[in-house]
Structure 1
Amino acid sequence: MLDRYQNYLIRDWQPDDRIAAAEVIKNALAEYGLGWEPDGADRDVIDVEQYYLDRGGEFWVIEDNGTIVGTSAYYPCIVASAALENRDTKAVEIRKMYLHSKTRGQGLGKYLLGQLEKSIFDRGYREIRIETASVLTAAVKLYESSGYLPVTEVETSRCDRAYVKKM
């Protein structure tokens, strides 16, 4: 991925991005009173290769004049429990869609979601899942206004909402 939105550069994650990407996510979570979980829900940011790249997913970073100000990613879903065995095998989960506070409100989140969806559907996946927390009101509004429907299968302890979109 190499793309631009306004003055922002959207590109594939590189190993040198690990700390800066983690800081963006950690700071965004803190703004909303949510904790950074490097040994739990955020382990995937510490090991992007294992959780995203080796599994056929993608992890993008967003730069503003060479500084990472956002992240967005997805990976193919893996059935984690008997309750979720009805998941479509051609499904992915969008994760780690976070933006620095100075980049919000400019349409970048909506643009990123659209680019993720395009990449996902171009790769043959037909179902997208997303988990989020209710306190992330802009994210909830974005997903709901983009055709994502609420579901009850929440797997991440920090999240209390889950959505699905099928093509």
Structure 2
Amino acid sequence: MNNIYRDFTIRNWQERDRAAAASVIEQVLQEYGLPWEPTGADRDVLAVETAYLSAGGEFWVVERQGQIVGTAAYYPIARGEKAVEIRKMYLLPTARGMGLGKHLLEQLENAIAAKRFQEIWLETASVLKQAVLLYEKYGYRSATGVETKRCDRVYVKYL
């Protein structure tokens, strides 16, 4: 992945991005009163190589003027038929309101479809109102089976 959107660069995660990507996720979670769980739900961002890359997924960072301001990722899961889960789609406040979230979701869906996956799952929290609206607008349907404690919504989209 190497994609330009306005003055943002979306690119593949590199080892040097570990701390900055984790910091973005932690900041956004705190902004919404959600817990940062480095030994639980967020351990994957500290182990991108095994959680995503060697598992057949991807982890991207969003940069603006050399600073990481967002993340987006997915990896295969056993939940459905040829299924993936979108994870860690977070943007700092300075990167919101410009259509970047929509663009990221479209890029994720394109990458997932190119690998011939058939189902996209995701979990989110109701307090992330803009994310919920985005997923619902893009055809994600409410499902059951939330696996992450801080999340209270699960969605699926069939390709």
Name the TM-score class by shorter chain: over 0.9
Distance in 1 between residues matched to 2:47 and 2:147, nearest whole Å: 19
User: Which residue of 144, 159, 164 maps to 2:151?
Assistant: 159
Runs ≥4 in structure 1, deviation > 3 angstroms? none
Instruction: State the AA in 2 paired with 1:21.
Output: A
Which residue of structure 1 aligns with residue 122 of structure 2?
130
Shift of residue 153, structure 1, vs aligned partner: 1.2
Instruction: State the AA in 2 paired with 1:118.
Output: N
Which residue of structure 2 aligns with residue 84 of structure 1?
none
Percent same amino acid among aligned pairs? 60
User: Which residue of 149, 152, 156 maps to 2:141?
Assistant: 149
Instruction: State the AA in 2 paired with 1:46.
Output: L
Distance in 1 between residues matched to 2:35 and 2:156, nearest whole Å: 25
* TM-score calculated relative to the size of structure 2: 0.99
Please tell me the root mean square deviation across aligned C-alpha atoms, in Å: 0.6
Alignment coverage as a number of residue pairs? 159
Once the two structures are superposed, what CA deviation does each residue of 1:4-36 show, in whole Å capped at 9, x if it has no partner? Answer: 000000000000000000000000000000010
Shift of residue 78, structure 1, vs aligned partner: 2.9
Partner-residue secondary structure (3-state), 1:29: helix
Instruction: State the AA in 1 paired with 2:25.
Output: I
- Unmatched segments (≥5 aa) in structure 2: none
- Unmatched segments (≥5 aa) in structure 1: 80-86
* TM-score calculated relative to the size of structure 1: 0.94
